[in-house]
Copies of this chain bind each other. A is one copy, B any other.
Amino acid sequence: MANYFSSEFTLGILGGGQLGKMLLYETRKYDIKTKVLDPSAEAPCRIACNKFVQGDLMDFDTVYSFGKDVDLLTFEIEGVNIEALEKLENEGLKVYPSSKTLRHIQHKGKQKEFYTSHEIPTSSFRLFENLESLSAAVENNEVGFPFVWKSCTGGYDGKGVSIIRGMKDMDNLLEGECIAEDLIPFKNELAVIVARNPKGEVSTYPVVEMEFHPEANQVEYVICPARIEPEIATKARAVAEQVSRAFGHVGLLAVEMFQTEEGDILVNEVAPRPHNSGHYSIEASYTNQFEQHLRAILDLPLGKTDSKVGGIMVNLVGAEGHTGDVVYENIEHIMAMEGVTPHIYGKRQTRPFRKMGHVTIVNESLSEARKIAEEVKNSIKVISK
């Protein structure tokens, strides 16, 4: 076992956004050396890592030579050059999560096929090479309205996903490979974060309940624990564990799921990294998701995933009609409320729906936390000067 603490061991991180920034709190806590690659000179990770490299995450040579200079490689964003990861793995570097997991996940069609072939419950779907073949299937009544269209490779933060209720909804879709999925009339949208280390130890967090903003298609509240029956929670955690084991995943995996009216759990999609749905854990959990990711990829014992208190997370996204230097209006007002912690990601410029930060509300009583969360949401505004 390597000595990670105050040593020369260096962890490489692909991506320097807010997820990486929060991961760096934990590398600092353990005094683990880090090196970060990000295309932006103003990346939130720029400070707090030991070495920052500016470069293109999708460029083979950039990622490969970055990887040659670290002892273990992880990422905080899926959009990285997989071929470089494969070459690095073949040359003996530990890359966690692995390029193989990433290949399955980066492509939404392959992800769905993976679930089906591993008997992981998911909604029915069909894969199409392009919009033309999808349109043909719709015209032949092989695919019926409504359905969910997903671009296989173009999706992030609501782009690349659309609910198609009729022909006119198909006008402005992204070109390229896509899937058409059954639209699930779900009762709840849930998520479970699961960690697995190279030894094969697996640990799941409590189930969280998600609420999406109707227009921006971004999470508005994440509530932990989800207000669901214990049997549903047990089932959701078991499915998350099944997914992690099926992938032979190392690191954190966020599993987003639907709970149907009938009480079934269907996997929607996964993210192989710390996730928005786990931010509540910084304040609410015994071990936060970023520390858990670090423990997992370093093959350290996994931490306790229970919550100390109830937790709710509200995203801080840029208000509509505001573009420019950011101001967090009423931030002092929300800081006066009980158990409220704002996290400011460090992006200087706001624009509509940009993820600028989040706020966690913790309380012994989850219903009290929910009330305060609503006050928070109604008070703070991310605007421009």
Closest beta carbon of chain B to A51's beta carbon, Å:
9
Tell me, in angstroms, the Cα distance from A304 to B47 when the chains sit together. 29
Tell me, in angstroms, the Cα distance from A25 to B282 when the chains sit together. 12
Contact status B6-A286, CB under 8 Å: no
Closest beta carbon of chain B to A55's beta carbon, Å:
20
Known interface pairs A6-B348, A21-B28; A335-B49 also in contact (CB < 8 Å): no
Closest beta carbon of chain B to A177's beta carbon, Å:
38
Contact status A301-B336, CB under 8 Å: yes
13 additional A-B residue pairs with CB within 8 Å, beyond A5-B342, A6-B347 = A1-B332, A6-B344, A21-B28, A28-B47, A28-B48, A29-B341, A30-B344, A47-B47, A47-B49, A48-B48, A300-B332, A303-B335, A304-B339
Counting from the closest, the 6 A-B pairs by CB-CB distance are A301-B336, A31-B344, A31-B346, A48-B48, A308-B308, A308-B309
Instruction: Give the secondary structure class of A's interface.
Output: loop
Complex partner residue of A29 from B300, B303, B343, CB under 8 angstroms: B343
Which residues on B sit within 8 Å (CB–CB) of A344?
5-6, 29-31
Tell me, in angstroms, the Cα distance from A343 to B28 when the chains sit together. 9
* Mask: chain A, 1-14; 1 = CB below 8 Å from B; 0 = not: 10101100000000
* Chain A interfacial positions (CB closer than 8 Å to B): 1, 3, 5-6, 21, 24-25, 28-31, 47-50, 286-287, 291, 295, 300-301, 303-304, 308-309, 326-328, 331-332, 335-336, 338-339, 341-348, 362, 364
Closest beta carbon of chain B to A359's beta carbon, Å:
11
Contact status B338-A304, CB under 8 Å: yes
Closest beta carbon of chain B to A110's beta carbon, Å:
35
14 contacts between A and B (CB under 8 A): A1-B332, A5-B326, A5-B342, A24-B48, A25-B29, A28-B47, A28-B346, A29-B342, A29-B344, A30-B344, A31-B344, A47-B47, A303-B335, A308-B364
Which residues on B sit within 8 Å (CB–CB) of A300?
332, 335
Which residues on B sit within 8 Å (CB–CB) of A24?
28, 48
Which residues on B sit within 8 Å (CB–CB) of A309?
308
Which residues on B sit within 8 Å (CB–CB) of A286?
338-339, 362
Contact status B3-A335, CB under 8 Å: no
Closest beta carbon of chain B to A91's beta carbon, Å:
27
Which residues on B sit within 8 Å (CB–CB) of A291?
341
Closest beta carbon of chain B to A349's beta carbon, Å:
9
Closest beta carbon of chain B to A241's beta carbon, Å:
19
Complex partner residue of A326 from B6, B47, B342, CB under 8 angstroms: B6
Complex partner residue of A31 from B31, B304, B345, CB under 8 angstroms: B345
Closest beta carbon of chain B to A222's beta carbon, Å:
18
Which residues on B sit within 8 Å (CB–CB) of A342?
5, 29-30
Tell me, in angstroms, the Cα distance from A336 to B287 when the chains sit together. 12
Contact status A301-B335, CB under 8 Å: yes
Tell me, in angstroms, the Cα distance from A346 to B309 when the chains sit together. 31
Closest beta carbon of chain B to A238's beta carbon, Å:
22
Closest beta carbon of chain B to A124's beta carbon, Å:
42
Closest beta carbon of chain B to A298's beta carbon, Å:
9
Contact status B30-A28, CB under 8 Å: no
Q: Which residue of B lies closest to A334 (CB)?
A: B301
Which residues on B sit within 8 Å (CB–CB) of A362?
286, 308
